[in-house]
Chain A
Amino acid sequence: MTTPVIAGRTGRRVWRTLWPPLLLAVALIAGWQLVGQFAIRDAQVLPTPWQVVSAGWQVRGDLWHNALPTLEETAAGFGLSFVLSWLIATAMDFSDAARRAVYPLLVASQTIPVVAIAPLFVVIFGFHLLPKVLLVALATFFPLTASLAEGFATADGDAMRLLRSMGASRWQSFAKVRVPGALPFFFTGLRVSITYAIGGAVFAEYAGAEDGLGIYMQQMQSVFRRDLVFATILVIALVSVLLFASTYLLERLVTPWRRFETRRGSAQDRT
């Protein structure tokens, strides 16, 4: 009934969200172009945006072929991290002992420097998919698990009592109240962790891989094609932004009720 109105409003809101970063990006790129073109004038030191884009376009086939394995690693690693986060957060919600046992280890896992552990993983698990998947999972599962566990814990005590008065089992209360109530938190965690995902994969490839954007970037670095290094970075950044934006789309599909909540209303529901 009101779909066109909502769509129009959404369009306006998307535009309102997008124009400031777009404007800033254009300004920065223009500044970069000017500095590169008139001040530095050496593509080996700083290629201009135009040089980056045109060089990248010439090797688009290579970029594409190297992007595929990186995306595959990202997807597999993120999938693993997604499954792990739900399993661990659920266990933590059901058992206080599990929470106390697991949480410190989770935090500790975050302090492992990926730089140090990436080569180790390659030595242990080989050059193929597995070490990369594990590194992506390591880089992303903490924000997911933590946000999910927090989300479960915010369930309203009165709501849990209502469910109990209806005769609900622990599991029913979990599935019907704690899980849906945790979803907004989960999406916040998802947005944080998804920005780590591709970076994690690229870094894992640095430590040793046959193909992928990380290894491609390293090769271009060693042959002094700085323009192509930048082109690769550009591709990584674009994919990250796309993934990030897709979380909003997913959130809209999974939590359709949230568009009816005013900001204040949803804040009240959470307290």
Chain B
Amino acid sequence: MNGGERAGDGQHRLEVRGLTHEFARADQAPLRVLEGLDFAVRPGEFTAIIGPSGSGKSTLFNLVAGLDRPTSGVIYVDGRAVTGHSEQVAYMPQKDLLFPWRTIEDNAALGLEVQGTAKKAARAAVRPLFPEFGLDGFERSYPAQLSGGMRQRAALLRTVAMQRSVLLLDEPFGALDSLTRTQMQLWLAQMWQRHSWTVLLVTHDIREAVFLADSVHVLTSRPGRLAARVVVDLPRPRTTQTFLQPEFARLEQQVLSALGTTSDVP
């Protein structure tokens, strides 16, 4: 995993420099979805990206995951430029995308399997993670037998099991009901505290962004530019008490107004 093009300041796990992306359109000027995006994520930092619909959040993720090539600009992970599909980033999409024909442990082991680990070894590698993800005893269950929250935890387990430098979480709790979502946020805050993953989270939910992240990047609507960077210095570990702090409300307000001044959506 060493070698390749090295760059950046060496302190950041993920660096996005001058990122611009356009989609070609038939008979029209290309559609610019991201413009001059610049930010960096330190190892073990939890960063949230928030923005109105059409601010290019999903595009940003595809670029960081190496699924698309940017029109211009560079992305570095651990100092290496991302070209083509990235072996350094683990991606958790909006939908849980657990495959109905695989048991939970086989779903969790999929990333390792794809990378060439034998099926048995891959299963053995993911099994110890089950208790921590609240999935103990569900190793052999099929996704259809699990609740929404459990499915999201299984999807996160699959993401984490790949042991990559950066976790990309694309609205991971967007499809859950409000109560389950809050439980999942509390749980994720706890898990992050314990493992110090480097996380880039995309979300629509201001509360979620402020509660989980160390810093929140606010994007403008199309083309997505960085409108504001809100540093969240709420104490860790964050718990249900965090929601009640005046500072929490103030930060929420700050993100909201950063969004409000940029949004052209009524």
The answer to whether A and B assemble together is: yes
Interface residues of A (CB under 8 A from B): 156, 158-159, 161-168, 172, 176-177, 180-181, 183, 255, 257-258, 260-262, 265-266, 269
Q: How far is the CA of A260 from the CA of B145 in the complex (A)?
A: 7
Q: Which residue of B lies closest to A159 (CB)?
A: B97
Q: Could you say which of A167, A177, A261 contacts B144, with CB atoms under 8 Å apart? A: A261
Interface hits, B72-128 → A, CB 8 Å? 85-87, 89-91, 93-95, 97, 99-102, 110-111, 113-115
What are 11 inter-chain pairs, A to B, with CB distance below 8 A? A158-B93, A158-B94, A159-B99, A161-B93, A163-B114, A165-B67, A165-B85, A165-B90, A166-B110, A167-B114, A180-B101
Instruction: Tell me if B65 is interfacial: C-beta within 8 Å of chain A.
Output: yes
Instruction: Tell me if B39 is interfacial: C-beta within 8 Å of chain A.
Output: no
The binding surface of chain B is classed by DSSP as: loop
A260 contacts across to B, CB distance below 8 A: 142, 144-145
Decide: B67 and A164 in contact? CB cutoff 8 A.
yes
Q: Could you say which of A161, A183, A258, A262 contacts B67, with CB atoms under 8 Å apart? A: A161
A49 to chain B, nearest CB (A): 45
B163 to chain A, nearest CB (A): 12
Chain B's interface size range is 20 to 34
B113 contacts across to A, CB distance below 8 A: 176
Chain A to chain B: the 6 pairs with minimum beta-carbon distance, closest first:
A260-B144, A165-B91, A180-B101, A168-B114, A257-B142, A166-B114
B218 contacts across to A, CB distance below 8 A: none
Most buried by B among A159, A165, A180, A260: A165
Q: How far is the CA of A255 from the CA of B115 in the complex (A)?
A: 25
B95 contacts across to A, CB distance below 8 A: 156, 158
Instruction: Tell me if B34 is interfacial: C-beta within 8 Å of chain A.
Output: no
Decide: B162 and A156 in contact? CB cutoff 8 A.
no
A165 contacts across to B, CB distance below 8 A: 65-67, 85-86, 89-91
Q: Which residue of B lies closest to A161 (CB)?
A: B67
A159 to chain B, nearest CB (A): 5
A156 contacts across to B, CB distance below 8 A: 95, 97
Q: How far is the CA of A258 from the CA of B162 in the complex (A)?
A: 28
Q: Which residue of A lies closest to B68 (CB)?
A: A161
Q: Could you say which of B65, B97, B102 contacts A158, with CB atoms under 8 Å apart? A: B97
A158 contacts across to B, CB distance below 8 A: 93-95, 97
Q: Which residue of B lies closest to A163 (CB)?
A: B114
B97 contacts across to A, CB distance below 8 A: 156, 158-159, 162
Q: Could you say which of B67, B94, B114, B144 contacts A257, with CB atoms under 8 Å apart? A: B144
Q: How far is the CA of A269 from the CA of B151 in the complex (A)?
A: 14
B79 to chain A, nearest CB (A): 20
Decide: B101 and A257 in contact? CB cutoff 8 A.
yes
Given contacts A159-B97, A180-B101, A261-B100, contact A166 B142 (CB under 8 A): no
B90 contacts across to A, CB distance below 8 A: 165-166
Q: How far is the CA of A261 from the CA of B67 in the complex (A)?
A: 31
Given contacts A257-B100, A257-B142, contact A162 B85 (CB under 8 A): no
Decide: B89 and A269 in contact? CB cutoff 8 A.
no
B68 to chain A, nearest CB (A): 10
